[in-house]
Amino acid sequence: MKRIIGCIALGLITIAASAQWSNPAADIPAYNAKAPTRALPPILNGSQLTGDYFANSYQITAYKMAAKIPNVLHQQPCYCHCDRAMGHNSLHSCFEGTHGAACSTCMKEAVYAYQQTKKGKTPAQIRTGIIHGDWIDVDLENASL
């Protein structure tokens, strides 16, 4: 009986101790809550969308979509956590260089943001969907402008 109580107590302590790492809402990557107040760096476009990073048509499509909604992307987090590794401050940062083309998370989030913008959703509503993980099932191969 003491062994069972000891195991239950150990299990409860383990659950309580690990709870601090299990809250996805507390782990939201960097984003900007409001529209930009100054001009944003440009998103790669045109002849910049060539080379090894743009071998697939969906990579080019993701950048074209991103270029149509820069202010929306500025207000979105990026769940590849490039804010930690690369110092990005929003999903927009991913498309200022080639990082977005090499990362399916960035591309899926950008396509999701574009599609939701076309449906009339606000940046805040889109951010809620991204945080919820609604972008995960985006089909990059069939995304179109």
Residue 8 has a pLDDT of: 60
In this structure, which amino acid lies at residue 70?
P
Look-up: residue for tokens 């969308």? 49
Tell me the per-residue pLDDT of 8-27, one tens digit each, with 9 for 90 and over.
Answer: 644 444 444 444 444 455 68
In this structure, which amino acid lies at residue 135?
W
Nearest alpha-carbon partner for 138 in 81, 62, 83, 55: 62
Question: How far is the CA of 98 from the CAs of 8, 25, 44, 55, 113, in angstroms?
Answer: 50, 28, 8, 12, 19
The set of residues, in sequence order, having a beta carbon less than 8 Å from that of 71 and lying 6+ positions away, is 35, 36, 40, 123
Residue 83 has a pLDDT of: 86
Distance between CA atoms of 118 and 69, rounded to whole angstroms?
A: 10
Main-chain phi, psi angles of 65, to 5 degrees: -65, -45
Nearest alpha-carbon partner for 61 in 139, 132, 133, 125: 139
**Angle, in degrees to the nearest 10, between helices 104-118 and 123-132:** 140
Q: Which residues of the chain have pLDDT under 50?
A: 6-7, 9-23
Q: pTM of the predicted model, to two decimals?
A: 0.82
Distance between CA atoms of 41 and 59, rounded to whole angstroms?
A: 19
